[in-house]
Structure 1
Amino acid sequence: MPYDEWQLDDNIPFDKLEYVISIAAGSRRNGDKAMKSSLDNVGAEVQITEEVSITAIANVYQGKKILAFLLDEREAEIQITEKVIKAAIQELTRNEEKMLLLFDKRGAEIQITEDMMKAAIEDTPGGKVKVAILADDRATKVQITEEVLKAAIENNYQGRQMIVFLLDRCESRMFITEQIIKDAAAKVLSRKEEFDKYGSYIGFAGAFQAQLEDSNELLELLLDRRGA
């Protein structure tokens, strides 16, 4: 039966109601209507748990509609946990609107932790997009730790671009330590070894040359900013 025609049975045990709400959160069509129907039948008895929020965020078909409905109708009952934010981060390259909804409605209580930033940075190839969304306009809440910078240095594809963006948005709260310089220098040496080993192969020279130059530029940037 389509979810928009679905009605809950009044005899469903209380301990099964959360499961029913989770099913509605995963609805592939008419998601907001399915959730409204479910909550109208359940009433105020069931909290919008972490699992329900994550299910709605992961829903590629109706997730935005369901999340928007929940934030409008049950905002105070939604649990915004670290796992919920991480789920939204995972969806950023596919649909940034869910994360933007969370920031718009509950931004005051959302803290972007070191683990969240590392998860975004380590993603390839979507890391640059994720970092831009997390840091832009929310820079005062982003934790830019040594581990975050190390993760960016190790990103073989967009690491330099991410650090440039973070320096632009969050430089006053970034500490470019001696270890960061060492890690960036080690990356240059690693790139040089790769170029010396594979750079003569037809079709590979350009790519390895570009990666080496990218690592050199990042090291020079970090040295310049550390000395500023």
Structure 2
Amino acid sequence: MAGDSYPVDEINRVKRRHDRGAYDEATVHALLDAAALCHVSYIIDGQPFCTPTLFWREGRQLYWHGSAASRMLRNLSDGEPVCLTVTHLDALILARSAFNHSADYRSVMAFGHARLVEDPEEKRRALVMMVDRLYPGRTAELRPTTDQEIKATSVISMEIERASAKIRAKGVIDDDEDYALPIYAERLPVRTIVGAPEPCSRLSPGARRPDHLGGYRADRPFDEALAEAHAAAYRD
């Protein structure tokens, strides 16, 4: 429903620079959908771990996958508490003092309890979306996934129970008395850009780049291409 927000409590409330915090679904989901890689944090026997992995979102549900032998997946199958994060670095900020050096960024922290996806149909559908979330319609063009491949892959799901976004988009901010100093300052934009495709050297004769990859064109911002692909994959 438009305008919905995640509940706010001591777990997800932005405590420092709360003016940069946002809890509405539209902001949180947009930042998640524009990312391919997340970091999943959890604790095993008192030891903290943080694992980078590909992920995707369906409504308030997040999914990620890995080898069935993965330590992370083996230990996140029984409702363990998890924090999943993504960050987009937009710029480095060079100010007139070391204290005011900073970065422009967009980030999300999502909290919930992980569960192993065991229902065969949900797992098969999730493994389809693992690919189609990035490349809408691609799975239908591929060799069918074998039962052994499905068995060798585990999928974890987490309902987003709480979430917060934090965004800085201020550029250079110095103390008023510092602006008169003869010190150079700037905002240095940072972008992840799609490069030119590099076709496999062993393509069969007649194999051509499919139209559904058109969004991944050279020099396009990667987060823009990802957000477009996610929207197309889940379009009614």
Instruction: Indicate the structure whose relative CO is greater, using CA pairs within 8 Å and at least 6 residues apart.
Output: 2
Higher CA-based Rg? 1
Which structure's residues are more often strand, by fraction? 2
| TM-score above 0.5 | no
- TM-score of Structure 1 vs Structure 2, range by shorter chain: under 0.3
More helix by share: 1
Q: TM (normalized to structure 2)?
A: 0.21
